[in-house]
Structure 1
Amino acid sequence: IKNSVNSQTSSESYQKIKKDEEDGTTWWRKCCSKGIYLTDVCVPGRCSNSTAQLCCAQKLLQARYRCCNNETQDVNRPTDSFSRCCYENFVDSNDLCCPHSEARNYWMSNAELCLPNVSVNLTDVVLKARISDNEEVVVRLSEDRSWDYKCTYGTNVMQFIYLPGPATD
């Protein structure tokens, strides 16, 4: 098995982005403005059913990043607003690479990762996705630590997990 993508480091990701800018390629802008960029397979045209778990993991990290940097999360009372923010950015946003039903299932077992004061060591996590018979994407979170940061907003009050009602899809 050939590892076509072997957990691009931030420097490698930056170099790829700079090259794409020079070439006029802008596919990455939608992804990278979300703050967490683990792989380039989570864009329409590159993702598939086999990359959904990897792309959902990336999208959950992106949702948390967005909420951590959202000033409206700086509240003074116990709330589930941070978790709702994550849910809206993760589950309720339309994404071909992390379909709604898959994101919803992922949320139900991983929602606590999307709280501002939760710190989880993900360095032992390795995400893999087969792209074709001879191509596999491997993302080692020990090599790309863009997920390892402290939230700017939402950390000053008790936060609760938002759990949606029964699925309607």
Structure 2
Amino acid sequence: MPWLETDPVTERKRFIMEWLSGEFAVAEFYRHHEISRKTGYKWIARYEREGPEGLEDRSKRPGNCPGAVEPDLIEEAIRIRYSRRQILGARKVRPRLVEGSSWTVRDLCRFLFDPAPDGRIGVSVFYAWIDARGYRDAWDYTVRFKQKLRQDALDKVELEVPEIDWDAWHVECASASS
């Protein structure tokens, strides 16, 4: 093999081993490894603080996501949105949310709605049980609106479907119609 391949972690360990030996002057040492002083001091500080594990590669992923939303707030927003016969939009859902939440109307629209592909009007079908006169009078209905709900938002919410005694309901409907 005419060449030798190394990875950055191996080079950092070699850098630290030479630094610990103390053979080079500081400026010459960094020039020899072709790194800046700032980078050299960073690796030395990590080695002193964490040992050899500090020389490993780290994720560059940010520690937090300012746009992230707690799942309970998502469920609450969807519950409020569908709590009435008429579906509420983001501007009416926002004031009803928990006090102190940092959602804006734009955040709610971004989460609750997904534009239809190709600029067409999206159609979403949402089935729900309506219990108008106790457990007997239940039916499903279809709600159409101009923007489509994100499927993952609906997947996160568990809808409570009432248990219906269909035999008793059928008998009562038959007796009511005669």
Q: Name the TM tier (shorter chain).
A: under 0.3
Report 1 or 2 for greater relative contact order, CA contacts < 8 Å, sequence distance ≥ 6: 1
Q: Which structure has more strand as a fraction of its residues?
A: 1
Higher-Rg structure is: 2
Q: Which structure has more helix as a fraction of its residues?
A: 2
TM-score by length of 1: 0.27
